[in-house]
Amino acid sequence: MGFDFNYLLEVLPNLFYAARFTLYLTLVASFFGLIIGLILAVIGYYEVKILNPLAKVYLFIMRGAPLVALLYFFYYGIASYSTFVSEMEPLNAVSIIISLTAGGFMAESIRGALLSVDEGQKDAAYSLGMTNGQLMRRVIIPQAVRIAVPSLFNNVISITKMTSLSFMLGVVDVMGSARIEGSRTFSYFEIYGGVIIVYLVLIGLLMIVQRYVAKKFSEAY
């Protein structure tokens, strides 16, 4: 009995291969989460009537409800009443729920960055006759992006870890592959040690990209 290093080396390639689904989910959820977050942040920033209260309810649900519950509620609950959902591929279902959840967290990161822009610059823009759209495109967003980058990358890292729950709907990602391998060999110590290694490598790469992007934005600013 003991840690079998050779078995770890044997199982690692399979886990890294399964990480393609993890990367896919991370990219899709980050992209759509960013779009959702930007829309919600702008609604909250301008306190748009009717939409702002709805956005707050959305944020409360997505930031407060456990991801596991949302996955089951959507894929097994709503599927009972919707043929579209019941026939959906598990990977697509996970992509939708993680994107919606990510949008809630990214919205707060973006809104905080928008609010950090000095009020004097906004007043100056209005005095020049800029519309709200021009103000947002030319003054607020260029400055807010630099501020938002670190927290948005933290959101992406969180999304990457969120994807580990996709195996609960049958997606054979890193965790799904580990579960299958574990049921075959029962060498859980080595298998989940391998899972940790895979996620550390992925997160490490994201952190390198984060530092590079942050540096570029700082130099541009």
- Top-confidence residue, 124 or 202: 202
* Tens-digit pLDDT profile for residues 159-184: 999 999 999 998 989 999 999 988 88
Q: Report the C-alpha gap between 25 and 92 in whole angstroms.
A: 9
pLDDT at 161: 93
Question: Is 60 exceeded by the pLDDT of residue 1?
Answer: no
pLDDT of residue 2: 67
Alpha-carbon dihedral sign for residues 16, 20, 26, 27: positive
Helix ranges (H only) for the chain are 5-46, 51-64, 67-72, 83-86, 90-115, 119-127, 132-135, 141-162, 174-185, 188-220
Mean pLDDT of 4-15: 88
Q: Which pLDDT score, from 0 to 100, does residue 36 have? A: 95
From CA 141, how far away is CA 45, in angstroms rounded? Answer: 12
pLDDT value at residue 89: 92
Helix (H, G, I), strand (E, B) or coil at 132: helix
Average pLDDT value for residue range 81-86: 89
Between 5-46 and 174-185, two packed helices, what is the crossing angle to 10 degrees?
A: 150
Please state which of the ranges 51-60, 119-128, 180-189, 198-207 shows the lowest mean pLDDT.
Answer: 119-128
The confidence score (pLDDT) of residue 69 equals 94
**Count of CB atoms situated within 10 Å of the CB of 81:** 8
The pTM assigned to this predicted structure is 0.88
Nearest to 113 by CA among 135, 154, 142: 142
Average pLDDT over residues 138-150: 82
